[in-house]
Amino acid sequence: MPQTRQLLACALALAAAGASRAQDTPDPEPDKSVAIPALEIIGFDLLLSNFNRATSGSHDYDVSWHSIEHNLRGPWVVDNDPFSTNQFAHPYQGSLYHAAGRSMGLNYWQASALTFAGSAWWEITGEKTPPSKNDQVASGIAGSFFGEPLFRMAHLVGDHSSVPAAWRPWLAAAISPPVGMNRWAFGSDRFGAVFEDHDPAYYSRLHVGGSRVTNDNFASSKGVKTNVAQVDYQMDYGLPGKPGYTYNRPFDYFNFEAALSSSNGVENLTSNGMLLGDHYALGDNVRGIAGIYGGYEYLAPQIFRVSTTSVSLGTTLQWWAGEHLAIQAGASGGVGYAAASSTLRNVDSTEYHYGMAPRGNFNLRLIEDERLSLDVAGRIVSLGRIANRQAGRDDVSRIESALTWRIAGPHAIGVSYVWSHRSAAFPSSVPERQTLGQVGIYYTLLGRQDFGAVEWRHPDGD
């Protein structure tokens, strides 16, 4: 009996020690795979190249071993495919590469390297035309700046959304198809299907409505559509100030905007996230982040079009200016590789120019007691200011303002005014100045965190 009691005591002690070690051991990380997303990218490129060859009527996709060998030897060129192809379709293609890697458990930098390699693979094997430097920037770099927010938003919808559970996989797949495809193929708990987002504070809103051009004389003389239906979405993810939230990974903070217009399709697509930085505090009422931001933007109102892939220094903060008044603000400035042109000068969608361009943006949101918000944001891109000045200059600016009044729950009414301007001068043509003003009214659907004011002053809800 004494021996039995001793053996039982030893067994209980070992069980307790094992339980203690199990509690101290962190959960294993999800599996990772480089081979699977690489094969997915190769397969996708092969299908896309053959689809384009069958449907485009162009010989650019008549790929052969000879064309691949020729492209491997170079040289790399700057092409002028249609603006929407180079500046929107290529970044979106790169975003699929990035999400394929992320959904297989790769971290941001690993997925970005895979995206860059996938873009080079397309340039060499997807088309018989010479590989393009501008496409490599658009797909290989902008693709990651674009793809990471889509990847995170897909997981936010799939894991934390108030959307009915049956709809979540479909909505996540619509936002980022590789996330939906790989969740279906490998299950919801393998590879990168379970993404730990650390429950970020965020602001999101959906606008559905219409706008009207205010300078009617200009619009009628230039063929600009006066009345426009519009749908746009905005998210600020990882807003500063939430206790315990960290910024150790790229895009733990980002701003994302997308706008569709009946006048010209995609009018605005912007992604700007912090690649490297940290949080800070100023007194009791200010919390912020600062660091290096990576951004992609595609802006195409009816009078011009501009796109940039950029790196900037920036900051984002929130200040409690009163008991019920919060001010959120952000600013960044840097340099990017940009493309721009007028849409009024001619109808040739391949007429535009590239260059290194300084760029800057700011945003300000005043939030009053979760009932009212006032947003003002601006951006500027200046081609021809730091390189190849003799070729001319092209300055593009845009200011957006909106007043949103919450009616009940997530439902609100929004009123906006948008001012878009382009000033350009080239040696071979007369200077151009184009300005477009638009006023709009929208039904607004707010996200589950209303206007996004982050509360850290009363952690216990007092």
Residue 430's pLDDT is 74
- Total Cβ atoms within 10 A of residue 152: 27
Pairing of the two strands 254-261 and 227-237: antiparallel
Question: Amino acid identity of 302?
Answer: Q
C-alpha distance from residue 145 to each of 112, 254, 261, 347 (Å): 9, 10, 23, 30
The CA distance from 179 to 304, in Å, is 34
Please determine, for residue 424, whether its predicted confidence score (pLDDT) is greater than 90.
no
Q: What is the pLDDT of residue 442?
A: 97
pLDDT band at 197 (very low <50, low <70, confident <90, very high): confident
pLDDT interval class at 168 (50, 70, 90): confident
- Only one residue has tokens 């997915």, namely 40
Per DSSP, 131 falls in state P
Q: Exposed, middle or buried, 428 (CB in 10 Å: 0-12/13-18/19+)?
A: exposed
Q: Is the peptide bond before 82 cis (omega within 30 degrees of 0)?
A: no
| Of the candidate ranges 223-237, 309-323, 384-398, the one whose mean pLDDT is the lowest | 384-398
> Which one, of 449, 443, 438, lies nearest residue 401 by Cα?
438
Q: What is the distance between the alpha carbons of residues 131 and 121, in angstroms, rounded to a whole number?
A: 10
pLDDT > 90: percent of the chain: 64
Model confidence band, residue 18 (pLDDT cutoffs 50, 70, 90) = very low
More confident position, 351 or 34? 34
**pLDDT, average across residues 76-90:** 89
Q: Is the pLDDT of residue 158 over 90?
A: no
Domain chopping of the chain, boundaries: 35-186, 202-446
pLDDT digits (tens, 9 = 90+) for 96-133: 999 999 999 999 999 999 999 999 999 999 999 999 99
| Least confident span in 232-241, 373-382, 410-419, 453-462 | 453-462
* Tens-digit pLDDT profile for residues 253-262: 999 999 999 9
Whether the per-residue pLDDT at 11 is higher than 70: the answer is no
Q: What is the mean pLDDT of the chain?
A: 86
Give the pLDDT band of residue 32 (cuts 50, 70, 90). confident
For tokens 């933007």, the residue is 297
Identify whether the C-beta of residue 452 lies closer than 8 Å to the C-beta of residue 328: yes
pLDDT average, residue stretch 140-146: 97
In one letter, which amino acid is 445? L
What is the CB-side half-sphere exposure of residue 256 using CA atoms within 13 A? 23
Whole-angstrom Cα distance, residue 316 to residue 331? 7
* Mean pLDDT to the nearest integer, 245-268: 94
Banded pLDDT at 51 (limits 50, 70, 90)? very high
Q: What is the pLDDT of residue 186?
A: 81
Cβ atoms of 122 and 132 within 8 Å: the answer is no
Angle at 289 between CA 364 and CA 28, to 5 degrees: 130
* 181, containing H or E segment: helix 177-186
Residue 264 carries which DSSP code? T
344: confidence class by pLDDT, cuts 50, 70, 90: low
Q: Secondary structure of 195-212 in the HEC alphabet? A: CCCCCCCEEEEEEEEEEE
Cβ 114 vs Cβ 38: under 8 Å = yes
- The per-residue pLDDT for range 354-385, each reduced to its tens digit, is 889 999 999 999 999 889 999 999 999 998 76
Per-residue burial over 219-240, b = 16 or more CB atoms within 10 Å of its CB, e = otherwise: beeeebeeebebebbbbbbbbb
Residue 59 has a pLDDT of: 86
Exposed e or buried b per residue across 323-354, where buried means at least 16 C-beta atoms within 10 angstroms of its C-beta: eeebbbbbbbebbbbbbbbbbbeeeebeebbb
Distance CA 329, CA 257 (A): 16
Coil, helix or strand at residue 104: coil
- pLDDT at residue 188, rounded to an integer: 65
pLDDT for position 4: 38
Residue 329: predicted pLDDT: 97
Neighbouring residues of 226: CB distance < 8 A, sequence distance ≥ 6: 212, 213, 216, 219, 220
Closest CA to 203 of 406, 340, 352: 406
- Range from 132-141, 215-224, 419-428 that averages highest in pLDDT: 132-141
Strand-pair partners of 320: 326
Mean pLDDT across the stretch 398-404? 96
- pLDDT at residue 351 greater than cutoff 80: no
Please report where in the chains the tokens 């151009």 appear, as a residue: 432
Note the CATH number of domain 202-446: 2.40.160
Residue 146, by phi and psi: left (phi above 0), alpha (psi -120 to 50) or beta?
alpha
Q: Are 302 and 264 in contact (CB under 8 A)?
A: yes
- In degrees and rounded to multiples of 5, residue 336 shows phi and psi of -145, 170
Q: Determine the 3-state secondary structure of 149 from DSSP.
A: helix
Q: Given pLDDT bands bounded at 50, 70 and 90, which one contains residue 387?
A: low
- Beta strands (DSSP E) in 221-352 are 227-237, 254-261, 265-282, 286-299, 304-322, 325-342
In this prediction, residues 289-303 reach a mean pLDDT of 95
Split at pLDDT 50, 70, 90, the class of 195 is confident
Closest residue by Cα to residue 155 from 136, 178, 139: 178
Per-residue confidence (pLDDT) for residue 5, from 0 to 100: 43
Mean pLDDT (whole number) for 65-81: 90
What's the pLDDT band for 211 if we cut at 50, 70, 90? very high
Q: Residue 264 has what pLDDT?
A: 85
